[in-house]
Amino acid sequence: MSAPLLAAQGIVKRHRCAAGPAAVGGVDLCIGRGESLGLVGESGSGKTTLARILAGLTEMDSGRLIWQGRALAELDRAARADYRRAVQYVFQNPLGALNPRHRAGLILQRTLRGLTTLDAAARAARIHTVMAQVGLERTLLQHFAHQLSGGQAQRLAIARALLGQPRLLILDEPVSALDVSLQAQILNLLHELRQAQGLAYLFISHDLAVVERLCPRIAVMRDGLILEQGRRERILSEPRHAYTRALLQAHPRYVQ
Ligand SMILES: Nc1ncnc2c1ncn2[C@@H]1O[C@H](COP(=O)(O)OP(=O)(O)OP(=O)(O)O)[C@@H](O)[C@H]1O
Ligand SMILES: [Mg+2]
């Protein structure tokens, strides 16, 4: 069997000055190639902290990450750069994640220059490809980020994440800042992108209906720990943990 795309072992993180339990208190997690894993849990349960560690954006106190079978700490520079390119993070608030004073085109150009050594013509072609993939008109490249609607901004953030042909997108509540009608559009887009490109997702959401739709496997997090993880059907029909049952009951669709 081939190694998972990304495995996390014994991840521990305590934020500076934070009292109470560690934000992440010893987590093991595995994401297969092309797999979509859902991560659910109440506010403050540690989802973002864990996700940022997986993406290399936050340092952990202990534990290790294994990228395609090799411990990240032992990778050479080239392999580490490959991991950085291949794991991309999409934030909850797209407008906050994009520099409002930059035009969309510049935002994509900067990212692409950081990721690749493509020449100007190849960069333009790549940018046009990702714009088409996320359903944005090319003319939007001239617009400043602050002129974009919430839905356009999240599409642009997804386009930026796709530029370097990633293997794993970490989607941290990618639709919760959007109106309900836009949420469905972005979720459809994410569903189609994964089908078309064989991307893996770590999809973080409070909303079990969203996770159910996009994620065949679900992990439930509380107080820095993964309480249970398993196949979607099992988690939804036979939750093993009282907390998972409470999450299900909080959602009208799952009240029996
Ligand atoms: N930079 C930080 N400094 C100090 N404490 C932090 C920091 N970031 C998060 N925390 C704390 O760590 C815990 C986990 O926070 P985290 O943001 O990972 O949770 P979350 O599950 O993503 O929550 P939400 O659903 O609200 O996004 C919380 O108690 C939070 O207050
Ligand atoms: Mg969060």
Report CA(55)–ligand 2 centroid distance (Å). 14
Rounded Cα gap, residues 21 and 224, in angstroms: 7
What pLDDT, on a 0 to 100 scale, did the predictor assign at position 209? 83
Per-residue pLDDT of 33-78, as tens digits, reads 999 999 999 999 999 999 999 999 999 999 999 999 999 999 999 9
* Ligand 2 center to 113 CA (angstroms): 29
Which pLDDT value is given to residue 1? Answer: 63
Strands 36-40 and 24-31: unpaired
Among all bound ligands, the one having the nearest atom to the CA of 50 is 1
What mean pLDDT do residues 76-92 have?
93
Per-residue confidence band for 254, with pLDDT thresholds at 50, 70 and 90: low
Query: How far is 240 from 204, CA to CA, in rounded Å?
Result: 20
> Average of pLDDT values for 77-90?
93
Is the distance from the beta carbon of residue 41 to the nearest atom of ligand 1 less than 6 Å? yes
Ligand 1 contacts CB of residue 43 (under 6 A): yes
Buried b / exposed e along 181-220 (16+ C-beta atoms within 10 A): ebbebbbebbeebbeeeebbbbbbbbbbebbbbbbebbbb
What CATH architecture does domain 6-254 belong to?
A: 3-Layer(aba) Sandwich (3.40)
Q: Measured in angstroms, how far is the CA atom of residue 48 from the centroid of ligand 2?
A: 4
Find the mean pLDDT for residues 7-13: 98
Ligand 1 closest atom vs CA 224: 14
Helix axis angle, 180-197 to 150-162, nearest 10°? 20
Q: Is the pLDDT of residue 18 over 80?
A: no
3-state secondary structure (DSSP) of residue 115:
helix
Q: Is residue 157 very low, low, confident or very high in pLDDT (cuts 50, 70, 90)?
A: very high
Ligand 1 near 109 CB (within 6 A):
no
Domain ranges of the chain: 6-254
Percent of the chain exceeding pLDDT 70 equals 98
Centroid of ligand 1 to alpha carbon of 14 (angstroms):
10
Report whether residue 18 contacts ligand 1, using a CB cutoff of 6 Å. Answer: yes
User: Any idea which ligand is nearest the CA of 222?
Assistant: 1
Tell me which of 45, 61, 170, 206 to substitute to probe ligand 1's pocket, judged by most ligand atoms within 8 Å of the beta carbon: 45
pLDDT class for 29, splitting at 50, 70, 90? very high
Cβ–ligand 1 contact at 23 (below 6 Å): yes
Per DSSP, helices labelled H in 87-231 are 94-97, 104-115, 120-133, 150-162, 180-197, 208-214
Ligand 1 proximity of 151 Cβ (cutoff 6 Å): no
